[in-house]
Amino acid sequence: MRIAAVILAAGLAARMGRNKLLIEIDGTPLVRRVADAALGAELAPVVVVTGHEANLIQKALGDRPVAFAHNPDYADGMAGSLKTGITALPPEIEGALVCLGDMPDVTSAQIVRIKAAFDQASGVAICVPTRLGKRGNPVLLGRQFFPDVLRLSGDVGARGLIAENAEYVREVPMEDDAVLTDLDTAEALEDYGKRR
């Protein structure tokens, strides 16, 4: 089963006030932590969608074996980056794990669990991690939903698409808050630092 990763790393990070994906957690830029988790789960290819400060994102990823896809319209919102990432995938890919670039604690083991829940043959074509009943990220979408992703516009992700296709969804419970933790604001970063 060929599962790819699409890491969304194009945004302006306006609420943070600086490029949050370059913030170092334990000496590692945030976007590299996410890429390492995807690579450790043996997803391939791992496509990093760039936009704002693309050269710095590429530099932060160093020699990691990832592919880059640039979204020139990154200021228009998340949908464009999703479409850029999906379009960059080779035709044999059966599903794409959509990763937010600002989730510091998602592990390779959690991604492997999400991937293991994916079973298009039995109708499970969307896998969503949960923590205490609350849905989080990253989300795995089967190829059958790629055309729906390509019709998205504006600053929206796949939440509506997932809601409209509930019969294909499998929730994957997790034992910690990693799938709910993203660092969107300076306050979120400060709170995260206090919890560690």
Query: What's the pTM?
Result: 0.94
Contact between 118 and 74 (Cβ < 8 Å): no
pLDDT at 15 over 90: no
**SS in 3 state form for 98-151?**
EEECCCCCCCHHHHHHHHHHCEHHHCECEEEEEECCEECCCEEEEHHHHHHHCC
The tens digit of pLDDT for each residue in 37-78 reads 999 999 999 999 999 999 999 999 999 999 999 999 998 889
Domains and CATH numbers, the chain: 3-195 (3.90.550.10)
Write the CA distances from 172 to 10, 101, 124, 156, integer angstroms. Answer: 27, 20, 12, 23
Amino acid at 167: E
Q: Which of 5-19, 49-63, 99-113, 180-194 has the lowest mean pLDDT?
A: 5-19
The tens digit of pLDDT for each residue in 29-42 reads 999 999 999 999 99
